[in-house]
A and B are shown apart, each in its own frame.
Chain A
Amino acid sequence: MNFARIARLSAQRIVKMVAVVLAIAVTNFLLIHAAPGDPASVIAGQSGAADPQLLAQLRAQFGLDKPLTTQLAIYIGHVLQGDLGTSFRQGRPVLGLILERLPATLLLTGTAFVFAIAAGITLGALAAQRVGRVADSLITVLALGFYATPLFWVGLMLVLVFSVWLNWLPSFGMETVGADLHGWAAVADTAQYLILPALTLGLFYMAVYARLTRAAMLEVASQDFVRTARAKGVPEGRILRRHILRNALLPVITFAGIQAGQLIGGSILVETVFAWPGIGRLAFDALLARDYQVLLGVFLVTSILVVLFNLLTDLLYAIIDPRVQTA
C-alpha cells in the first residue's frame, strides 16, 4: 500500500470538498434571493413575518441593503466560520441542531448501507451462480420489485405487517420512552427500533447491488483468466470466490460510493415514516415550519457527508485495487 498515493488522493478530495461547500453556499445564497419575497423574511422563516425588529436586525447582519456581491461575501464568510444561521423557530443555531441529530442519521444510514452491501452482493452472487434457474429469476424479480417501490411505502408496509399485525417490532422512535436503560440493554433496545427503518432504507439498495453484482459476475465469468483457472483444475468454489467475485466487486463499490447521496436523501423519507430523530426528521419539521435556514443547513451538511463518503469509498477502492491511479 502506497501511503503517498493515499495522501494525494485525500488531498484531492479535501480540495473537492471545499469546492462543494463553496458551491452549495452560493446555491443557498441564490435560493434565498430567488425565493419570492424579501430575503430577510426568507431567512427568518415563518416566525419572522410579524416581527419588524427581527427583520431589521437580519438586514443589518446580512448586509441586505448592500450590493449583491458584498452580500454573497458576507454569507460565505458566515458559512466558512460554521455559522449556518439561526433557527428562529427553535431559537438555536442551525449547526448545533444538525450536529445533535447527526449520530442518529449516521447510525441509520450506516446500518442500512452495510445491510444493503452484504445482502445485495450475496443475492447477486447466488443469482449469477444459478443463472437461468428459479432462484435466479426469483432474485431478479425481487430486485426489480424493490427498484420500483417508493421507500416510504415500503416503510409503511413493514410497519403494517411487523408492528400492527404481528406486533413484533416498534414502529416509531429510537428508544423506549421512560425505560431508562443502560449498557447492553439500551443497545438492544435501540437495535429493536433500528431494524425496520434500516431495512426500509436498505432493501432498495440491496436490490440495486444485487443486480449490479449479478451483471458484473456474469461479465467476469466469461473472461479468459476464469477459463484458464478452470482448465488448471481450480475447484469451482475457489474460482467463484477468488477469481470472479473479487473482480466483480470493484464496479459494485464504485457505484455504492456514487449513490451515497441518494441514501442520505432517502433517509429523510424513512426518518419521517419512523419518527427517527435524525437530520431527515429535522428537515421534515423545518419543512412544516417553513424554517428555511434549517433546510438549507441540512442541504449543506448532507452534501459534505456525501463527499466524505466518496472519499471513504475511493480510499477503500485504492486499497483493494492497486492499479487505481490518482486522476
Chain B
Amino acid sequence: MSAFIRAFARNKGAVVGLVILALVAITAAVASLVFPFSPWDMQGAPFQPPGDPDAWLGTDSLGRDVAAGIAYGARVSLLIGAVSTAVSLLIGVSLGAIAGYAGGLLDDAVMRFTEFFQTIPSFILAIVLVAIFSPSLGSIVAAIAIVSWPPVTRVIRAEFLSLRGREFVQAAEVLGRSRTAIVFREILPNALSPLIVLASLMVANAILLESGLSFLGLGDPNLMSWGFMIGAGRSVIRLAWWMSVFPGVAIFLTVLALNLVGEGLGDALNPRLARRR
C-alpha cells in the first residue's frame, strides 16, 4: 500500500488533482454551514459584481448569491458524477463479464449491442432520455449511466478474455468452484486496476455531461447546478461576466482534478507503462 502511495505521489499533477478534489468535496460538505440559506433565495440586489463582502462572487440576475450556488452545485455535480458512474460500472461490468466469460454467441450479441451504443451520438441520446422522462435527479443519473457504460464493457471483456485462460483460473475450475465464485473471487479482483482508472475518468465525464444537460435546461429543477448557472447567466454575459465565468471555473477545476487523479492512479497501478512514457 505504501508503495502504491509513493508511486502515486511521484506524479505531481495527481497530487495537485487530489488536493483540488478534496477542496471541492469539503466545499460540498460545508455548503449549508457557510451558506445557511437556499441557493435559490434572493440574497441581495441583482447584478452585484464580485468583491462585495456579502456576496464575494457577486449575485445573478435574480439576486441569488453566485458563491452559494457554486457550493451547492458542487454537491449535485459530485453526487451525479459518483452515482451515475456506479450505475454504469454495474451495467458495464455485468455485460463485459458475461461476454468475456461466456464467449460464443452471447459474446457476439453483447458486443453488437455495445457497438450500437458506441455508434449513436451519446449526448443526443442523453438529451432525448432526460427530455422524455422529464428532468429529475433519477432521470439524469439514468441517462448518463445509459450512455457511459460501453467502455467499461470493452475493458472488462478484454480482461476476462485474457484472464480466463490463466493457470489460477483453470486451477479454480479444476477444484470445482462455482462459476460465480470464479467470476467474483478469481477474475474480477484481477481486473480491478484498469477499472479504477476508467472510473475516475468516467466521473469526470459524467460531471461534464451533467453540466451540458443542465445548461440546456435539463437539470433537476429543484437542485442548483453549475451548468444551470452558466445557462442562466448566458443571456446577460455582456453585462455580467461573473455569472457564467465562476461556475465554469468550478467545472473546469473539478474535471481537471479528476483527470489528473485518474492519470496518477493509472501510473501507480501500472508502473511499467508509466516508466515507458
Contacts and interface: CB of A to CB of B under 8 A. Distances in A.
A159 B216 contact: no
Contact of A148 (B128, B131, B256): B256
State the main secondary structure of chain B at its contact with A: helix
B114 interface: no
B105 to A, nearest CB: 17
Given A36-B133, A144-B259, A265-B123, A272 B216 contact: yes
B119 A31 contact: no
Interface stretch (A50-58, A119-127, A293-301): A293-301
Contacts, number: 129
B50 interface: no
Nearest to A154: B248
A144 B234 CA distance: 25
A295 B128 contact: yes
A67 B23 CA distance: 56
Interface string B194-215: 0000000000100010011001
B125 A299 contact: yes
Given A147-B259, A150-B208, A287 B122 contact: no
Interface stretch (A83-91, A189-197, A303-311, A312-320): A303-311
A151 interface: yes
A33 B105 CA distance: 30
B255 interface: yes
A265 B128 CA distance: 12
Contact of A288 (B119, B121, B212, B217): B217
Contact of B234 (A20, A150, A156, A164): A156
A201 interface: no
Interface string B248-269: 1001100110011000000000
Interface string A205-218: 00000000001001
A310 B127 contact: no
B134 interface: yes
Interface residues of B, number: 40
Contacts of A284: 216
A252 interface: no
A292 to B, nearest CB: 6
Given A157-B245, A164-B238, A290-B131, A150 B124 contact: no
B244 interface: yes
Contacts of A215: 277
Given A149-B252, A150-B251, A287-B127, 4 more contacts: A148-B255, A153-B248, A295-B128, A299-B124
20 contacts: A20-B119, A23-B116, A31-B129, A144-B259, A150-B255, A153-B230, A156-B237, A160-B241, A164-B237, A218-B277, A258-B118, A262-B121, A264-B121, A264-B124, A268-B123, A269-B216, A284-B216, A295-B131, A295-B132, A306-B121
